[in-house]
Amino acid sequence: MAEEDSFLYALSSNNAWAAYKSHQNPKFFPKLAEGQAPEILWIGCSDSRCPETTLLGLQPGDVFTHRNIANVVSPTDINTAAVVEYSVGHLPIKHVVLCGHTSCGGAMAALSDNRVGGVLDCWLAPLRAIRDQHADELNAIQDTKARAARLAELNVAAGVKVLMANPVVREAMRTRGLEVHGCLFDIASGRVRDLGVGTGSKYMMNGAQSQGEEVVVRGQHAQLVFSGGSAVMKVR
């Protein structure tokens, strides 16, 4: 039996998905083609295990996205700056989310001084700087995976500071209440956890969220309702 071609399989899968969505809602794709109005900007890692729309349980059109190796946010990166400026300045973005993840290859590489090769060493330099700044804390963590996860959290915290210093973001925070969140995606559980950095921690889960307060994060086709330490997705 010949080895299955992964790209041909992907095309076939796309055809089946498109047919199913059209059958489910004939207006879905025509409406999508009219334009986008996402309320969430997601800045994440390029890791194949972290597809933002899928893990959030949302739909095409709900999340404007920028991803790179190890979700690094640098003030001199014109690519990230362009995404932020367009989405925050020209779309109805209400939430900017910077999300790292566990088992991050970039964080693991940054824990070592060994060369990765090529441009990757330059790209990971900010993570190694964060590693050095928090060397005592990180060295005290015996488990390598746990140490890398903590570095991923610290990287998110540093990136959130850069985002909140961005002039477009600052203006939107001041004039229309834009919120900036730092999160970590736990691949082993599938859960996204608010790290409590950014403009506030009212969305924090695992018992840290304010009890009795219902928070709704709306997308174009669905919404997440946070209440009492749990979340429910509702299709709109």
Report residue 153 as tokens.
């959290």
Q: In the block, which residue shows the tokens 């999160």?
A: 183
Residue 166 near residue 84 (C-beta atoms within 8 A): yes
Does some domain include residue 223?
Answer: no
> What amino acid occupies position 202?
K
Flag whether 214 is in a domain: no
Strands 222-227 and 230-235: antiparallel
Phi (first) and psi of residue 180, to 5 degrees: -120, 130
- In-domain check, residue 173: yes
Q: Which CATH number do you get for residue 124?
A: 3.40.1050.10
CB 217 within 8 A of CB 57: no
pTM of the model: 0.86
The number of folded domains in the chain is: 1
Q: Scanning the structure block, which residue is given the tokens 């998110």?
A: 156
For 233, residues 6+ apart whose C-beta sits below 8 A from its C-beta are: 57, 222, 223, 224, 225
pLDDT by residue for the chain (236 residues), tens digit each?
456 899 999 999 999 999 999 999 999 999 999 999 999 999 999 999 999 999 999 999 999 999 999 999 999 999 999 999 999 999 999 999 999 999 999 999 999 999 999 999 999 999 999 999 999 999 999 999 999 999 999 999 999 999 999 999 999 999 999 999 999 999 999 999 999 999 966 655 543 444 344 555 555 555 555 554 455 555 55
Q: Domain of residue 46: give its range.
A: 37-207
230 in a structural domain: no
DSSP alpha helices (H): ranges in 6-118? 6-24, 28-33, 52-55, 78-90, 105-110
Catalogue the active-site residues.
45, 47, 49, 101, 104
